[in-house]
């Protein structure tokens, strides 16, 4: 009874039944193999081997074509994706590596990186790269072990900077530039294919990779109106590693290998795309294998795929009684088939049909529980698991829908303010423009930027700035119409799209209403903060026909509002655009002038002692004579040089030339006490300034006490502790220090005693009223008294009349500078002036 129970239990196991079926099937296979080896192997073995290899290569070719199609379709989107094309055009038109607008260009690159991420994920590929019209890398996305990484190329001082963030990260961070090379990404686009071909369609290339086979689709984007003008290059790649070839080899029962060397024994191999099933390809035969192969690429460095098939051992000759054995084997096989049929029909087919019914319900998204099989074996366990699987799939689909909705919201909204973000606003603006063109009506774009928001972040911290932005967004939301679109597009910048015709009639009133939002202070954790904003307004169609133009022109108008004093609004006009263009042309000319170094000259204005009448020193003043623009006043090009960072190079030239001219005067017998040279706040804050200053003194041979540097009060007021430290280092070197235009800027008198300066220069605005204006008299006397208390020398600027000079001489001023004695002179005229005054 025990044995019977064990047999029953054992026979109820699916594995037992399956084992019996396999045994029976094995007998059938043996029979079939006997017949096969007897009648067909010797005649058709080689032919069948070739057919199997052809089939394997057909499977490989089919898989590669599927991947090629995915790679090609994955990048063709960009031709019809207007937003991406517009962003690339913006980068092509406005990217200047040496004067790089990181705020505008980097944001566009990051949006492009997001779009590239979407495309490479949707096409199930590994890497996608975008290059601009010059072949410079703009952005790329690459699959890593932690997910996808988004990478953009920025520029700082003309050098590339690589910024990276992970797919789910929030911020880009700078990483070493060689990370792109480690990722296998070329910083400069490599043309591996005929250029005209990829302008018409995308092209896929194959390259050998240490981890397998790299397939890359290439596409060049040209301007539809100017086909010869390149807009961008895009590449998408997928790496087929050893897992792919191992799996395919296992499926085909072949050993597939990749090599970039043509195997010995083959003079050439055909292209994989040229497989012809009606003709055989040559096989290479060794003692152990049959070897066939194809070439994967027609490039200069082709990749070859080889298939190895082991020779099956020849069976021994059948013994003399093989016919009787074969007849017996066939009889047993037929009986076995009959019993297998009965067993399968009763024990497997009916339960399997029930299981397939459960699976069919799941395929139809019917996740309600089905009746469980009661077979007492593994099939019953499978039936239970299928019901559990249905429950799991239902739960996961519900969670996926929730997650999808959340991700869709986050992709279109700013996390901090819950307002629509730049991406959503771009879509909304493009749609609104299409409607406006169709309906022939106007719409307006307002570009709002907070005034001096950076000071809030710098002084109170970014967490306070974030709270302030959230409250600003809430107030703006309460003051825009329900049909208007308010979006935070980055930092402290907001865009407002207005489509209602009644509002468009009074945009000025709407702008004033928005400015009034900022009249009341903001309560940030009990601290009251006051801030204003500036608004730029552009109107379709007169101010632009595209989203890019409207945003750019509203941005220009916003900056014009800031220049007009902030807390203001301004409508775009063509004059602003011309002003921006003129500024850009002047900036390019200034950059070229600094590079050439031969367009600048120094003029020198003498400084006279009112007591002795002798020249005590000179002030060096830089002048620019451009071949293109003619003479350009310093008040035009000096601020531009400071804004663009060119002031450091220009300042180095002025310092060196001034010191050399001073030594030259000395060699001509003209001995002055000192030369004064103006230095910018940017120069003083530059990390290499002090070292360069030491080197310049050593190279020119001027003594430190003969060199006086002039700076403004704004440098001291920006960061007193840092300014005092820098100035003290300069004084320790032995140089003289002067405060230029004293009294016109910040209240430097309160900390004058802390500064290691040697001279005050009284601004011309105080001298003009002498000697008749009581306020000017009082102020000048107060400055002279203050300087005397701190043992400082005093120079009065802008002296033009005899009575001004007499008053200053009597009041105890040490030096006089102005047209009363001389205007700024070229070097040769200065020499003549000094000699003439010496002989008086």
In this structure, are 628 and 695 located in the same domain? yes
Whether residue 172 is contained in a domain is answered as no
Contact 170, 192 (CB under 8 A): no
Backbone angles phi, psi at 148, to 5 degrees: -90, 140
- Asked if 306 contacts 294 with a C-beta cutoff of 8 angstroms, the reply is no
The Cα–Cα gap between 344 and 431 comes to 63
395: in domain: yes
Instruction: Determine the Cα–Cα distance for residues 368 and 552; give it in Å rounded to an integer.
Output: 56
pLDDT at 78 over 90: no
Candidate from 262-276, 315-329, 375-389, 812-826 with smallest mean pLDDT: 315-329
- What pLDDT shows up at residue 346? 62
More confident residue, 309 or 802: 802
491 vs 457: CA distance, rounded Å: 11
pLDDT band at residue 655 using 50, 70 and 90 as cut-offs: very high
- Residue given tokens 């699976």 in the structure block: 359
Give CA separation, 74 vs 209, 431, 485, in Å. Answer: 21, 24, 32
Helix or strand or coil: residue 602? strand
Q: Considering the chain, what percentage of its residues have pLDDT values greater than 70?
A: 81
Tokens representing residue 801 in the block: 């009349």
Provide the residue count of the chain: 840
Q: Is residue 614 a part of any domain in this protein?
A: yes
Q: Which two tokens stand for residue 355?
A: 């299981």
Domain CATH code at residue 671: 3.20.20.450
- Give the mean model confidence (pLDDT) for residues 72-94: 84
Domain shared by 423 and 547, yes or no: yes
Shared-domain flag, residues 634 and 726 = yes
- Positive or negative CA dihedral for 803, 809, 813, 816? positive
By the 8 A CB rule, do 189 and 135 touch?
yes
More confident residue, 175 or 250: 175
Per-residue pLDDT band for 43 (boundaries 50, 70, 90) equals low
Q: In this predicted structure, what is the pLDDT of residue 554?
A: 92
Examine the pLDDT at 268 and tell me if it is beyond 70. Answer: yes
* CATH number assigned to the domain comprising residue 455: 3.30.70.270
Question: Which tokens is 785 given?
Answer: 């008294």
pLDDT over 90 (residue 149): yes
Are 687 and 635 in the same domain? yes
CB 486 within 8 A of CB 478: no
> In this structure, is residue 235 part of a structural domain?
no
Q: Is the pLDDT of residue 570 over 70?
A: yes
Instruction: For strands 600-608 and 569-571, give the pairing.
Output: unpaired
Burial class for 70, CB neighbours closer than 10 Å (0-12, 13-18, 19+): middle
The predicted model gives 668-682 an average pLDDT of: 93
Rounded CA gap, 120 and 759, in Å? 65
Considering the domain architecture, whether residues 676 and 788 belong to the same structural domain is answered as yes
Q: Which domain holds residue 422?
A: 418-572
Q: Find tokens 């990483």 and name the residue.
A: 175
Q: How far is Cα 760 from Cα 743, in angstroms, rounded to an integer? A: 10
Q: Is the pLDDT of residue 759 over 50?
A: yes
The pLDDT tens digits of the residues spanning 207-242 come to 888 888 888 888 888 877 777 788 899 999 998 888
Query: Which residues on adjacent β-strands are paired with residue 206?
Result: 215
Question: Are residue 343 and residue 480 in the same domain, yes or no?
Answer: no
**Which runs of consecutive H residues, i.e. helices, occur in 306-421?**
322-343, 350-363, 378-412
Lowest mean pLDDT among 141-150, 340-349, 390-399, 743-752: 743-752
Based on C-alpha coordinates, what's the Rg of the chain? 41
Residue 687 has pLDDT above 70, yes or no: yes
Q: Is 77 helix (H, G, I), strand (E, B) or coil?
A: helix
Q: Is the pLDDT of residue 699 over 90?
A: yes
The residue among 554, 592, 597, 595 whose CA lies nearest residue 576 is: 554
pLDDT tier at 252 (50, 70, 90 boundaries)?
A: confident
Partnered with residue 399 across adjacent β-strands are none
Query: b or e along 276-302 (b: 16 or more beta carbons within 10 Å of the residue's beta carbon)?
Result: eeeeebebeeeeebbbbbbbbbeeeeb
370 φ, ψ (degrees, to nearest 5):
-105, 165
User: Degrees (nearest 5) of the Cα angle 414, 419, 425?
Assistant: 85
Beta bridge partners of 839: none
779: left (phi over 0), alpha (psi -120 to 50) or beta: alpha
Alpha helices in 668-770 (DSSP H): 681-685, 689-700, 713-718, 720-732, 764-767
pLDDT at 15: 46
Q: How far apart are alpha carbons 522 and 475 in whole angstroms?
A: 10
| Single pTM value for the model | 0.45
What DSSP line would sit under 36-55, residue for residue? HHHHTHHHHHHHHHHHHHHH
Q: Is residue 282 domain-resident?
A: no
Which stretch of DSSP H or E encloses residue 796?
Answer: strand 793-796
The reply to whether 724 and 808 lie within a common domain is: yes
Instruction: Identify each DSSP E strand in 42-166 by its residue range.
Output: 127-132, 137-144, 147-156, 159-166
Looking at the structure, tell me whether residues 406 and 497 fall in a common domain.
Answer: no
Name residue 208's beta-bridge partners: 213
Task: State which of 572, 597, 623 marks the end of a domain.
Answer: 572
Q: Which of 35-44, 442-451, 553-562 has the lowest mean pLDDT?
A: 35-44
Q: Is the dihedral of CA 190, 193, 196, 197 positive or negative?
A: negative
113 with 162: CB under 8 angstroms? no
The two beta strands, 759-762 and 736-742, are parallel
d(CA 60, CA 215): 14
CA distance 707 to 661: 12
Residue 759 lies in a domain: yes
> Is residue 677 in some structural domain?
yes
Q: What is the pLDDT of residues 397-423, one digit of tens each?
A: 777 777 776 777 778 889 899 999 999
In a domain, residue 243? The reply is no
Nearest CA-CA partner of 833 in 605, 635, 584: 605
Q: Determine the Cα–Cα distance for residues 254 and 306; give it in Å rounded to an integer.
A: 10
Number of domains in the chain: 3
DSSP 705: G
For the stretch 497-546, pLDDT in tens is 998 767 677 888 899 999 999 999 999 988 888 899 999 999 998 888 89
Give yes or no: residues 425 and 331 share one domain.
no
CA distances from 793 to 311, 374, 667, 736, 737 (A): 103, 108, 27, 10, 10
How far is CA 25 from each of CA 21, 332, 334, 353, 367, rounded to the nearest angstrom?
6, 12, 11, 22, 37
C-alpha torsion sign, points 832, 833, 839, 840: positive
Q: What is the largest CA-CA distance in the chain?
A: 143
DSSP at 572 = -
Exposed, middle or buried, 633 (CB in 10 Å: 0-12/13-18/19+)? exposed
Backbone angles phi and psi of 6, in degrees to 5: -65, -45
Of the three residues 523, 551, 572, the one that is the final residue of a domain is: 572
Contact 448, 494 (CB under 8 A): yes
Return the closest-CA partner of residue 629 out of 639, 620, 621, 637.
637
- Residues 513, 651: one domain? no
Torsion of the alpha carbons at 667, 668, 674 and 678, rounded to the nearest 10: -90
- List the structure tokens of 163: 């910024």
For residue 434, the SS3 value is: helix
Distances in whole angstroms, Cα of residue 12 to Cα of each of 314, 375, 380: 40, 8, 11
> Smallest Cα–Cα separation from 678: which of 701, 647, 705, 700?
647
Using DSSP, state whether 791 is helix, strand or coil.
coil
Report pLDDT for 425.
93
How many angstroms separate the CA atoms of 39 and 33, rounded? 10
**Is the domain of 650 the same as that of 748?**
yes
SS3 assignment, position 247: helix
Binned at pLDDT 50, 70 and 90, residue 746 comes out as very low
What's CA 244's distance to the chain center, in Å?
A: 33
pLDDT, position 284:
76
End residue of a domain, out of 412, 445, 460: 412
pLDDT band at 358; cut points 50, 70, 90:
low
Contact yes or no for 731/756 (Cβ under 8 A)? yes
What token pair was written down for 345?
A: 């029909």
- 98-132 pLDDT, tens digit per residue, is 888 888 898 889 999 999 999 898 888 999 999 99
Is the pLDDT score of 1 beyond 50? no
Query: Do residues 309 and 29 touch, judged by C-beta distance below 8 A?
Result: no
Q: By C-alpha distance, which of 476, 495, 515, 473 is closest to 555?
A: 495
- Do 589 and 610 share a structural domain? yes
Q: What is the token pair recorded at 43?
A: 């005649």
3-state SS assignment for residue 254: coil
Residue 735 confidence (pLDDT) above 50: yes
């Amino acid at each position: 009874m025990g044995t019977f129970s064990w047999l029953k239990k054992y026979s109820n196991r699916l594995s037992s039944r399956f084992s019996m079926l396999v045994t029976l099937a094995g007998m059938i296979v043996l029979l079939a193999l006997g017949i096969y080896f007897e009648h067909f192997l010797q005649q058709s073995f080689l032919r069948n081997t070739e057919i199997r290899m052809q089939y394997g290569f057909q499977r490989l070719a089919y898989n590669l074509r599927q991947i090629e199609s995915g790679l090609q379709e994955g990048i063709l989107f960009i031709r019809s994706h207007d937003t991406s094309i517009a962003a690339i055009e913006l980068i092509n038109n406005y990217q200047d590596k040496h004067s790089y607008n990181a705020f505008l260009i980097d944001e566009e690159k990051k949006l492009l990186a997001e779009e590239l991420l979407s495309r490479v994920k949707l096409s199930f590929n590994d890497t996608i790269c975008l290059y601009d019209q010059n072949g410079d890398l703009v952005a790329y996305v690459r699959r890593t072990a932690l997910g996808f990484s988004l990478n953009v190329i920025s520029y700082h001082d003309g050098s590339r900077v690589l910024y990276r963030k992970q797919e789910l990260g929030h911020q880009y961070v700078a990483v070493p530039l060689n990370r792109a090379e480690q990722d296998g990404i070329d910083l400069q686009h490599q043309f591996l294919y005929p250029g005209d071909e990829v302008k018409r369609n995308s092209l896929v290339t194959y390259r050998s990779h240490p981890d397998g086979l790299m397939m890359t689709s290439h596409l060049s984007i040209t301007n539809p109106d100017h086909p010869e003008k390149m807009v961008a290059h895009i590449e998408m790649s997928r790496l087929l590693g050893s897992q792919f070839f191992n799996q395919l080899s296992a499926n085909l029962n072949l050993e597939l290998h990749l090599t970039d060397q043509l195997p010995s024994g083959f003079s050439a191999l055909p292209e994989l795309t040229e497989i012809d099933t009606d003709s055989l390809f040559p096989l290479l035969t060794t003692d152990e294998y049959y070897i066939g192969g194809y070439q994967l690429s027609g490039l200069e460095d082709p990749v070859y795929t080889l298939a190895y098939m082991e020779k099956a051992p020849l069976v021994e000759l059948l013994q003399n009684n093989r016919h009787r054995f074969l007849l017996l084997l066939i009889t047993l096989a037929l009986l076995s088939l009959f019993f297998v049929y009965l067993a399968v029909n009763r024990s497997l087919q009916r339960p399997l049909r029930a299981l397939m019914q459960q699976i069919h319900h799941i395929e139809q998204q019917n996740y309600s529980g089905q009746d469980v099989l009661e077979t007492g074996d593994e099939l019953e366990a499978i039936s239970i698991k299928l019901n559990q699987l249905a429950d799991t799939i239902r739960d996961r689909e519900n969670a996926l829908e929730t997650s999808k909705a959340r991700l869709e919201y986050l992709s279109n909204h700013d996390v901090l303010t819950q307002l629509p973000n730049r991406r959503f606003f771009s879509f909304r603006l493009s749609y609104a423009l299409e409607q406006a063109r169709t309906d022939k009506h106007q719409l307006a774009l307002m570009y709002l930027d907070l005034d001096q928001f950076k000071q809030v972040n710098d002084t109170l911290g970014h967490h306070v700035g974030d709270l302030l932005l959230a409250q600003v967004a809430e107030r703006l939301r309460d003051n825009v119409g329900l049909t208007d679109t308010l979006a935070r597009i980055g930092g402290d910048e907001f865009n407002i799209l207005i489509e209602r015709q009644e509002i468009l009639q009074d945009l000025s009133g709407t702008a004033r209403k928005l400015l009034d939002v900022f009249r009341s202070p903001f309560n940030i954790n009990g601290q009251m903060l006051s801030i204003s904003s500036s608004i730029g307004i552009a109107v379709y169609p007169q101010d632009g026909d595209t989203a890019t133009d409207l945003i750019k022109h509203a941005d220009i108008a916003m900056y014009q509002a800031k220049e007009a004093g902030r807390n203001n609004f301004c409508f775009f006009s063509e004059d602003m655009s011309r002003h921006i263009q003129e500024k850009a042309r002047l900036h390019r000319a200034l950059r070229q002038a600094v590079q050439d170094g031969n367009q600048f000259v120094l003029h020198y204005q003498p400084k006279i002692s009112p007591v002795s009448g002798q020249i005590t020193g000179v002030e060096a003043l830089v002048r620019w004579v451009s071949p293109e623009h003619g003479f350009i006043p310093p008040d035009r090009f000096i601020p531009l040089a400071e804004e663009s960072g060119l002031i450091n190079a220009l300042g180095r030239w002025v310092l060196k030339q001034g010191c050399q001219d001073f030594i030259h005067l000395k060699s001509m017998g003209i001995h002055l006490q000192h030369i004064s040279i103006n230095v910018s706040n940017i120069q003083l804050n530059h990390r290499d300034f002090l070292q360069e200053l030491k080197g310049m003194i050593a190279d020119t041979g001027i003594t430190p006490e003969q060199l006086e540097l002039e700076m403004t009060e704004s440098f001291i007021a920006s960061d007193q502790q840092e300014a005092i430290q820098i100035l003290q280092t300069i004084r320790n070197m032995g140089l003289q220090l002067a405060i230029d235009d004293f009294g016109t800027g910040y209240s430097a008198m309160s900390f004058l005693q802390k500064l290691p300066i040697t001279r005050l220069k009284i601004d011309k605005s105080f001298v003009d009223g002498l000697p008749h204006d009581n306020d000017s008299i009082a102020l000048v006397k107060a400055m002279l008294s203050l300087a005397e208390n701190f043992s400082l020398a005093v120079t009065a600027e802008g002296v033009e009349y005899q009575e001004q000079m007499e008053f200053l001489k009597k009041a105890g001023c040490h030096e006089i500078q102005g047209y009363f004695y001389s205007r700024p002179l070229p070097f040769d005229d200065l020499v003549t002036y000094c000699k003439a005054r010496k002989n008086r």
